[in-house]
Amino acid sequence: MFSSAVLIVIAQLLDNAIKLDSPGPVFYSSERIGKTGRAFRSVKLRTMLRDAEMRRAEIMYLNQRDGVLFKVTNDPRITRFGRLLRKYSLDELHQFFNVPRGEMCVVCRSRPPLADEVREYEPGHLRRLDVAPGITGM
């Protein structure tokens, strides 16, 4: 019971800090694709500006990956508090709710891809969907 109370206090502190840093919802929810291509809803603490998805096209030139994957090391859409949450992986905590449902495991080779990414996969990429994605990578 003590651990539940501590989690509630931590969640409230994070909630307040996220709202102070960037107005908008505290949580970010997206459709992800898991084992055998099954779609599921992934919820994380929001670490980016509220309109980050709309701003993605503006920073595509910063992409450090080829093809389907999109990665920017110092993404300008990440909030100040969001950088701290990501540094300690606190934004991932809510994904532990996906584990008992079988949608994710704690540690696995791959992270859950976005539905848009999977639509662009080539046949060789589909092997990634043979296992449940993990909250953390290897």
What is the pLDDT at residue 4?
Answer: 62
How does residue 117 score in pLDDT terms, banded at 50, 70 and 90? confident
Nearest-angstrom CA–CA distance, 128 and 124: 8
Q: What is the radius of gyration, based on Cα positions, of the chain?
A: 16
Q: How many Å apart are CA 99 and CA 103, to the nearest integer?
A: 6
- What pLDDT does 35 receive? 93
Express each pLDDT in 45-55 by its tens digit.
899 998 888 89
C-alpha to C-alpha distance for 65 and 76, rounded to whole angstroms: 17
Q: Say if residue 41's pLDDT is above 90.
A: yes
- On whether the CB atoms of residues 9 and 17 are closer than 8 A, the answer is no
Indicate the pTM of the whole model. 0.77
Residue 34's pLDDT is 94
- Residues 6 or more apart from 104 whose CB is under 8 A from it? 34, 40, 42, 95, 98, 112, 132, 133, 134, 135
